[in-house]
Amino acid sequence: MEDLVRQLLVELGEDPSREGLAATPRRVAKSLKFLTSGYDADVDEVINQALFTVTYSEMVIVKDIDFFSLCEHHLLPFFGKCHVAYIPRNKVIGLSKIPRLVDIFARRLQVQERLTSQIAETIRDKIDPLGVAVVMEATHLCMSMRGVEKQRSFAVTSSMLGAFRDRDRTRAEFLELIRLRHA
């Protein structure tokens, strides 16, 4: 990968041996490996037995989960907040595992729509809840830095499964709760 980055620098009209760029191929390779580490992550290892049988059937929400990803079209970052909710049927997942799931899928080349669905579908598949909801709000540098150059725009995507799709009141409750901010 370092050789490819070096070649890219030459194609851009740069001298990859100059002082400021000499270590860039190594840094870029290391950075890209980290930013795409989700390909090597195993969902079951991350969950690591943190599934628990409970008699709780109210909404569980983890909101304002920061995430960073790379747009698969331009390899530019997009980043923002992810909000996840589910209604347990008879199992819950450890709360810290939800942000870890977000990271697994965000650390891949992505489109926000697929990322949103992957998170929701994985939670549905792992704990069989009555419903799952995921809302993602993100700023895309491919829209801010190039193309339409709209610095203040952001994209919102959602995936509503089960009770969140079928019940208007459940969906509305979730959307209202994620709007609330800490004091």
Catalytic positions, please? 71-74, 112, 140, 142
CB 16 within 8 A of CB 9: yes
5-29 core/surface letters (b: 16 or more CB in 10 A; e: else): bbeebeeeeeebeeeeeeebbeebe
- What is the C-alpha to C-alpha distance for residues 154 and 27, in angstroms, rounded to an integer? 29
Short-list 103, 102, 98, CA closest to 51: 98
